[in-house]
Amino acid sequence: MRYFKSSILGLFAFLLPFSMLAQEANYGNQHLFDNFTYREGNVYRTASGKPGPEYWQNAADYILEVNLDEKNHTVTGNVTIHYTNNSPEVLDFIWVYLEQNRFTEDSRGTLTTSVLGSRYSGDVEGGYELSNISAITETGTSSKHIITDTRMQLFLDQPLAAKGGKATIKMDFKFKIPVEGMDRMGRLETEAGTVYAIAQWYPRVAVFDDVVGWNTEPYLGAGEFYCEYGTFDVKITAAADQTVVCSGILQNPKDVLTKTQQDRFAKAEKSDKTVYIIKPDEVGKPASQVKNKGTLTWHYKMENTRDVAWASSRAFIWDAAKMNLGNGKTGVAQSVYPKESDGVGAWTRSTEYTKASVEFYSNTYYPYPYHTAINVAANVGGMEYPGVSFCHYKSRGEDLWGVTDHEFGHNWFPMIVGSNERRYPWMDEGFNTFINHYSTVAFNNGEYPSYTDKPRTLVRYLTYENREGIDTSPEVANARNLGYTAYFKPAAGLIMLREYILGAERFDNAFKSYIRHWAYKHPQPNDFFNHMENVAGEDLSYFWKGWFYGNGNIDMGITAVEPHQGNYLITVENNGEIPMPVELQVIYTDDTTENVRLPVEIWQRGNSWSHLLKTTKEVQRVVLDPNKMLADINILNDTWNKL
């Protein structure tokens, strides 16, 4: 999903007398610490947050052959889907998504989009033309189907067997490419030709899982995608002067690239510096084309992926460089862009950005599984697909780094860790925004700033009357709030979890373990919660419930610092709805300091706690949360000063 710039806008009180050393037990706050939702394990998903011994997911392999018609701006072709039912349940039918049907006047997405327009507005002259629809099983063929908006229910001649039953789905399709494709795809007119950014372009099977069965939420706009994994074999036929890039590895470079371009690509595969495949002054010239008339077919293949996207234009400048992915593995970062995007301060650095982003995540979190990573300049603000990103052709400098880094970060969430974006956008957007912070800090010795590690910049939103929680559906969330519910607030939550609650070592062990165990699988929120707790060894129910499934806030403060029997009593209070551990920095009159950490469990006994500070020194100042890592909505009570 689109990158949002990081420079964002910024229980009852039951106080025990501070003079009492013995804290009276009052478990009125226990409800803040109790477990929530049904988090027990089963044979499919364990209580430790791992895939269970009988975990399963279905698979879909695609063969796609299409033609690009520039005159009519259409894509015409056919799809063959080899579908495997690995579930323990027989299937009477298969649900297929037809997401291009969103671009019609009477689609649910069109009818639920404000007449004033929004980012998710789209053209209404599109939609699929389908023919020769069939589902083939061992027992026969069926063409019976029902199309409802962006979904097709395709019936089988006989129920598909459990645990390995196979079906082959075939159909021909055609659609008009929208100019405005809801900021996910579209057409851009440039001086040298049209840039086509093609996504959500083929009929694809919906996910059948152990949680809700068939996932058939309509494609409305804000909600993104949930896909099965498989192998994609893609052939795209376009005019001979077009450059076509696609997710996966080009299978026939000798058929579509000149000898010079082949040599340059081979050089780029070994070069840490960007190498031109098509230079700016070669765009549109016969010397840059294998042939000057007719068509060429570009053949791409990608394995173990949930989706593919592609782009085509005669206006593309094309460059590339080697990616160092760890353990001796390399890949190729690439960029294609029109001359309107060219420039040292703009897309000339795109491949550098792509390379740095993918290398960082590959070496920090989990190995990048694909050989190529291609950044496409288009009329799309920012959208991600496996191995391909669409970023706005006018982006430059810090903005281009940010959107490139964000979109390629999505290869980890949700391309590798295949969560359900349509239901839980925070599991991909929020996680990705979180890892983007560390990538940005690492890039080129901090060339660009990141503010994600400053949760207090969220306070204006957190105290906003019309704020919404992280668990708000993306289709329901106010458009002004979606950046916070899906991106900023969940990212801030992970920052607090890593930098304040658990510490980097415990968090990183758990987070990387989560990625490793759920790579190419379908985790749910509870799987994440359970796994983080089990690996880190911490009950975090109070935090998941308060920050991720609530609309309350953090508000802790210091109420008193007073001498007590030659020592000091420091009294802290919790005025918010989310309890947190307490970090205090004590500054003495001799300018020495001491840090005090109190566990979150102090708040189980009420909203006030007195801590005995044993010292022979005189206290000058006490600061709560000295590193400013909490999204505390009231900073006025965070500091005590000696009068």
Q: Where are the domains of the chain?
A: 30-47+448-548, 55-228, 258-295+309-418, 556-641
Q: Is the pLDDT of residue 21 over 60?
A: no
Residue 190: C-alpha distances to residues 17, 195, 229, 286 (Å) = 72, 7, 35, 19
Residue 4 is predicted with a pLDDT of: 57
Residue 1 is predicted with a pLDDT of: 64
Residue 514: name the closest of 523, 501, 502, 505 by CA: 523
Cα distance between residue 373 and residue 357, in whole Å: 10
Averaged over 19-29, what is the pLDDT?
52
Answer for the pair 443, 356: CB distance below 8 angstroms, yes or no.
Answer: yes
Q: Is the pLDDT of residue 452 over 80?
A: yes
Averaged over 223-230, what is the pLDDT?
97
- pLDDT, tens digit, 9 for 90 and up, residues 61-71: 999 999 999 99
Of residues 175 and 21, which shows the higher confidence score? 175
Question: With b meaning 16 or more CB within 10 Å and e meaning fewer, what string describes 56-70?
Answer: bbbbbbbbbbbebbb
Residue 482 is predicted with a pLDDT of: 94
Cα distance between residue 513 and residue 208, in whole Å: 25
Residue 643 is predicted with a pLDDT of: 86
Averaged over 418-436, what is the pLDDT?
97
3-class DSSP string for 137-197:
ECCEEECCEEEECCEEEEEEEEEECCCCEEEEEEEEEEEECCCEECCCCEEEEECCEEEEE
Question: With b meaning 16 or more CB within 10 Å and e meaning fewer, what string describes 559-580?
Answer: bbbeeeeeebbbbbbbbbebbb
Q: Is the pLDDT of residue 22 over 50?
A: no
Cα distance between residue 378 and residue 391, in whole Å: 6
- pLDDT, tens digit, 9 for 90 and up, residues 481-510: 999 999 999 999 999 999 999 999 999 999
Residue 590 is predicted with a pLDDT of: 97
- pLDDT, tens digit, 9 for 90 and up, residues 601-611: 999 989 999 99
Q: Is the pLDDT of residue 25 over 70?
A: no
Q: What is the mean pLDDT of the chain?
A: 94
For residue 414, whether the previous peptide bond is cis, meaning omega lies within 30 degrees of 0, is yes
Residue 18 is predicted with a pLDDT of: 37
- pLDDT, tens digit, 9 for 90 and up, residues 250-288: 999 999 999 999 999 999 999 999 999 999 999 999 999
User: Matching CATH topology for 258-295+309-418 and 556-641?
Assistant: no
588 Cβ partners below 8 Å, 6+ apart? 594, 615, 617, 618, 619, 620
Write the DSSP symbol of residue 45.
B
CATH of domain 55-228: 2.60.40
pTM, whole model, 2 decimals?
Answer: 0.94
Residue 262: C-alpha distances to residues 165, 243, 336 (Å) = 43, 14, 16
Residue 35 is predicted with a pLDDT of: 86
Strands (E), 486-592: 556-564, 567-574, 582-588
Cα distance between residue 81 and residue 104, in whole Å: 25
Banded pLDDT at 578 (limits 50, 70, 90): very high
Residue 19 is predicted with a pLDDT of: 39
Q: Tokens 């373990």 — which residue?
A: 513
Averaged over 466-487, what is the pLDDT?
93
Q: Is the pLDDT of residue 17 over 90?
A: no
Q: Is the pLDDT of residue 124 over 60?
A: yes
Residue 20 is predicted with a pLDDT of: 41
Residue 121 is predicted with a pLDDT of: 79
In the CATH hierarchy, which top-level class contains the domain 556-641? mainly beta
Residue 483 phi, psi dihedral angles, 5° rounding: -60, -30
DSSP, residue by residue, 386-404: TTEEEEETT--HHHHHHHH
CATH topology of domain 30-47+448-548: Neutral Protease; domain 2 (1.10.390)
- pLDDT, tens digit, 9 for 90 and up, residues 341-353: 999 999 999 999 9
Q: Which CATH number fits domain 258-295+309-418: 3.40.718.10, 3.30.420.40, 3.30.2010.30, 3.40.50.2000?
A: 3.30.2010.30
Q: Is the pLDDT of residue 443 over 90?
A: yes
Banded pLDDT at 565 (limits 50, 70, 90): very high
Averaged over 432-438, what is the pLDDT?
98
Q: Is the pLDDT of residue 129 over 70?
A: yes
Q: In what order do the strands lie in the sheet with 91-97?
A: 145-148, 151-160, 91-97, 204-205
Averaged over 512-533, what is the pLDDT?
98
Averaged over 568-578, what is the pLDDT?
97
Q: Is the pLDDT of residue 402 over 70?
A: yes
Banded pLDDT at 38 (limits 50, 70, 90): confident
Averaged over 380-409, what is the pLDDT?
98
Residue 70 is predicted with a pLDDT of: 97
Which of 55-64, 105-114, 392-401, 558-567 is least confident? 105-114
